[in-house]
Chains A and B, each alone.
Chain A
Amino acid sequence: MKPSEQHRAALELARANLPRRDEDAPLFRAPWHARIFALIIALVKNEHLGWKPFQENLVVVLARHQSADQDQSDTQVEFEYFDCWLIAAEMTLLEAGFVAEDEISKHIDDIRAMVAQIRADQLSHHH
């Protein structure tokens, strides 16, 4: 085969292997993706936040955190993207003064403690 034919054959082969790009892929691949997406949209809709400050933070975070890996799967792309969305959301809520710096980690500790308590209670009922 001549090089040009080889190239064409390789392209044909690549194309044959291209999976169908499906419009029915899940919109959100984890429940928390949907929640953090909706949280920002809700705050913009009820005008507690502007879209622009959030979007500007998202741009900064994507530039900083998104991997340069060109071969990521869709799932990897989505998880990395929503990680960035979450970081940008926290930045924007902090800047707006809606959340204080240590408030989130404190609340996480509270949730963990509450869950641990519920489990401990369940265990003591079993015995």
Chain B
Amino acid sequence: MAKKSHGPNKHGHDHGNDDGHDHAHDPLEEGAALRVRALEEIVVAKGLVDPDALDAIVEYYERETGPRNGAQVIARAWTDPDFKDWLLKDGTAAINSLGFSGYQGEHIRVIENTDTVHNVVVCTLCSCYPWPVLGLAPAWYKSPAYRSRVVREPRVVLQEFGLNLASSVKVRVWDSTAEVRYLVLPRRPPGSEGMDAPELANIITRNGMIGTASV
């Protein structure tokens, strides 16, 4: 799954016929694009939504949310033990205190990686994901392959992500839902003792906070 689905050459060259990127066709002829336009016009005409609100939402998700928010949360936890305690006890409140709140972040639980336990997050049913701290989920997180396999064979999947865990480390898989979304607190890497919070935030990756990378 991981290997096949991430090649940069995959983007833009192997689109199926139905993927809407075929510029030889008039965009209006594409079923889904036209359907969405129709749906939006109907809902707007009935006064249920304001088209400007749609623009604002797209802009918000494109600019304001993303894994850099989560990285700030993790860096703070690594450098401030009181904040870390709070984060593990009440993730939602601690995250809100840094200014990250909003939709799909109403209940975030933070789970800590240790010497003996590695955590990894999935949404087995759909794509539940803590948007305020990680932005929108990457394609692989939404793929049927990841969603089914990480539960069945987490170590193999993690290996495909390049993460080889010692056999003494237990892997725990957490299933995000509409009610609770999980964020992984990775272990602070050895050798990072001299780094301050902004430097630490730079080495924290999105996958580290999902659990498919160590940091």
A46 to B207, CA, bound (A): 32
Whether B15 lies near A75 (C-beta < 8 A) is: yes
Return the chain B residue nearest A24 by Cβ. B66
Interface centre among B1, B54, B206 (most CB of A within 10 A): B54
**Bound CA–CA A88/B15 (angstroms):** 23
Name the A residues within 8 Å of B205 (CB-CB). Answer: 23
CB-nearest residue of chain B to A36 = B36
User: Does A31 contact B6, Cβ atoms closer than 8 Å?
Assistant: no
**How far apart are the CA atoms of A98 and B42 in the complex, in Å?**
9
Interface pair B162/A18, CB less than 8 Å apart:
yes
CB distance from A16 to the nearest CB of B (A): 10
Contact A42/B49 with A59-B126, A74-B11, A78-B139 known, Cβ cut-off 8 Å: yes
Please give the number of chain A residues whose Cβ is less than 8 angstroms from any Cβ of chain B in the complex: 66
Give the residue name and chain of the B residue nearest to A106 (CB): B38
Contact A58 to B126, CB < 8 A, known contacts A15-B162, A39-B43, A72-B145: yes
B93 within 8 A of partner (CB): no
By DSSP majority rule, is chain A's interface helix, strand, loop, or mixed? Answer: helix
The distance from the CB of A36 to the nearest CB of chain B, in whole angstroms, is 5
Complex interface: stretch among B57-65, B76-84, B166-174: B57-65
Taking the closest CB of chain A, its distance from the CB of B83, in whole angstroms, is 24
CA distance A67 to B127 in the complex (A): 15
Q: Find residues 30-86 in chain B having any chain A CB closer than 8 Å to their own CB.
A: 30, 32-43, 46, 48-50, 53-55, 57-58, 61-62, 66-67
Task: Please give me the residue from chain A that is nearest to B141 by CB atom.
Answer: A77
Residue interface mask A1-43, B partner, CB < 8 A = 1:
0000000000100110111011101011111101111110111
In the bound complex, CA of A85 to CA of B70 (Å): 26
Is A23 in contact with B66, judged by CB distance below 8 angstroms?
A: yes
Does A30 contact B33, Cβ atoms closer than 8 Å? yes
- Give B9-24 interface residues, CB cut-off 8 Å to A: 10-12, 14-16, 18-21
B116 within 8 A of A: no
Say yes or no: B20 contacts A30, CB within 8 Å.
yes
A11→B163 CA distance, assembly (Å): 11
Bound form: Cα–Cα A107–B42 in Å: 8
Q: List 22 A-B contacts (CB under 8 A).
A: A18-B161, A19-B7, A27-B136, A29-B21, A31-B33, A32-B36, A35-B54, A37-B57, A39-B54, A46-B48, A46-B49, A59-B126, A68-B144, A71-B1, A71-B145, A75-B11, A75-B14, A75-B21, A76-B19, A108-B34, A111-B34, A111-B37
Instruction: Apart from A25-B139, A70-B149, list 13 A-B contacts with CB within 8 A.
Output: A21-B6, A21-B140, A27-B61, A30-B32, A42-B53, A45-B57, A55-B128, A58-B127, A70-B4, A73-B4, A74-B139, A78-B142, A86-B36
A-side residues, CB < 8 A to B, are 11, 14-15, 17-19, 21-23, 25, 27-32, 34-39, 41-46, 48, 51-52, 55, 58-59, 62-63, 66-79, 81-83, 86, 89-90, 93, 98-99, 103-104, 107-108, 111-112, 115
